[in-house]
Amino acid sequence: MECGQKAAVMSDGSGKDSAKAKQKSNRNRNNNSKRGNNRTPKRYGTTAKKVLMDKNVKQIEEMNSQANNRFTAKQKPLAFPKDMNEPKRFSFEWRVSPVALKEEAIMAEEVIRKGEFGWLDDERVEEIAQIVKQHDMSLDQALSLRSALLQQKTVYGHGRLQSRSKALVRLYKEGVSIVDLSKRFDFPPMNIFRIVLAELKWSKSKIKECLRSPSKLPERERKEFEEAEAADRVSNVDQSEVQVKADKFEDILSDWFEGQGVKLRRQPEMVREQSAQHGRPVATPDILFLDHVEINGNPVAWIDAKHFYGADVKFQRKKMAAQMSRYINEWGSGAVVYRHGFSANLFMPGCTLLDASPLDLSGLSPEGS
Q: CA distances (Å), 358 to each of 139, 296, 341, 365, in order?
A: 20, 13, 12, 18
Predicted pLDDT at 35: 46
Successive 10-residue mean pLDDT values, the chain, 369 residues: 37 44 47 50 88 98 98 94 94 97 96 90 94 95 94 89 93 96 92 95 94 93 94 68 87 97 97 96 97 98 97 96 97 98 98 97 67
What is the distance between the alpha carbons of residues 209 and 228, in angstroms, rounded to a whole number? Answer: 17
Q: What's the confidence (pLDDT) of residue 159?
A: 87
- Give the Cα separation of 144 and 147 in Å (integer): 5
Cross-sheet strand order for the sheet of 298-299 = 89-92, 292-295, 298-299
Residue 176, by phi and psi: left (phi above 0), alpha (psi -120 to 50) or beta?
beta
- Asked if 141 and 99 count as a contact pair (C-beta separation under 8 A), the reply is yes
Domain limits, the chain: 1-39, 49-98+239-368, 103-230
Do residues 127 and 93 touch, judged by C-beta distance below 8 A? no
Q: How would you list the strands of the sheet with 287-289, edge to edge?
A: 264-266, 287-289, 302-306, 334-338, 351-355
Q: What is the DSSP string of 109-158?
A: HHH--TT--SPPPHHHHHHHHHHHTTTT--HHHHHHHHHHHHHHHHHHHH
Return d(Cα 281, Cα 290) in angstroms, integer: 19
pLDDT, position 244:
87
Going along 40-102, which residue ranges are E strands?
89-92
Q: How many CA atoms lie within 13 A of 62 on its CB side?
A: 8
Burial of 97 per CB tally in 10 Å (0-12, 13-18, 19+): exposed
Residue 239's identity, in one-letter code, is: Q
CA distance 63 to 334: 9
Neighbour count for residue 298 (Cβ, 10 Å): 18
CA end-to-end span of the chain, whole Å? 92
CA angle at residue 152 from 146 to 155, to 5 degrees? 140
Side chain identity at residue 146, one-letter code: R
Q: How far apart are CA 101 and CA 10, in angstroms?
A: 64
Q: Which of 309, 267, 305 is nearest to 284 (CA)?
A: 267
The span from the CA of 346 to the CA of 48, in Å, is 8
Burial level of 195, CB count in 10 A (0-12/13-18/19+)? buried
Tell me the C-alpha distance between 253 and 259, whole Å.
10
- How many Å apart are CA 207 and CA 192, to the nearest integer? 13
- Give the per-residue pLDDT at 220: 96
The DSSP 8-state label assigned to residue 336 in this structure reads E
